[in-house]
Amino acid sequence: MDFTKFEETAGVAFKNKALLKQAFTHRSYINENKASGLEHNERLEFLGDAVLELVITDHLFNTMKEASEGEMTSLRSALVNADTCAQVAQALGVNEYLLLSKGEQKDDTGRARAYILANTLEALIGALYVDQGYEAAKDFIMKHITPILEVIVRDGKWIDAKSLFQEKAQEHLGATPAYKTIRESGPDHDKHFTVEVSVGREVMGEGEGKSKQDAEQAAAKNALEAKGWK
């Protein structure tokens, strides 16, 4: 596969093209093509996740001078979560270059594909870090991810949904929400959680995430939208 067009779109030029290809290689592809000699992207994803969080933390610390620790934490979460990463990956055309099993190729929409796109973006950041160092990875993140901060602040997407939902539930219903994990899927290194939030006996919302905390936030956001509590 030729990644030239992708490199032009992303504004990167890998020295080691095999590393770039590995970033796009999903575990499912390796399972179906054991003789390919390729490695999947999970180790690169692990590295890229850490680099992404460091760059965003540093950026927020140096630019959001009036923000509290809690506000910066929420803003960082909004910038590095799966939805944002998938959005950036989609804009870069990552979907066109993924190496997936035939089964994964068929399911080209929905949350499963969004998670794959998000993980691939993190793997790309990890691969760029290995290929060219921290500054190259930082430049990529600053170009493609940090500009979304303005939109997140404008639309209030950084606000802690759990805290807001608890406040609204107590105001309108006089009760505190309860969260319950109803489903876990995926291997230990790539868990996905589904959580529902209830007030009393009524289930108000459901959400998914790569951690229970992210899933709870998604469930609270879903409940706020369902109740029209903004």
- 3-class secondary structure per residue, 55-119: HHHHHHHHHCCCCCHHHHHHHHHHHHCHHHHHHHHHHCCHHHCCECCHHHHHCCCHHHHHHHHHH
In whole angstroms, what is the distance from residue 123 CA to residue 29 CA? 15
What are the tokens at 45?
A: 């994803």
Q: What are phi and psi of 43, to 5 degrees?
A: -70, -40
Q: Which residue in 42, 49, 104, 216 is the catalytic one? A: 49
45 is in an annotated binding site: yes
Whether 122 is catalytic is yes
Three-state secondary structure call for residue 43: helix
Q: Which residue in 42, 104, 122, 216 is the catalytic one? A: 122
Whether 8 is catalytic is no
Q: Could you list the residues known to form a binding site, using ranges.
A: 45, 119, 122
Active site residues: 49, 122
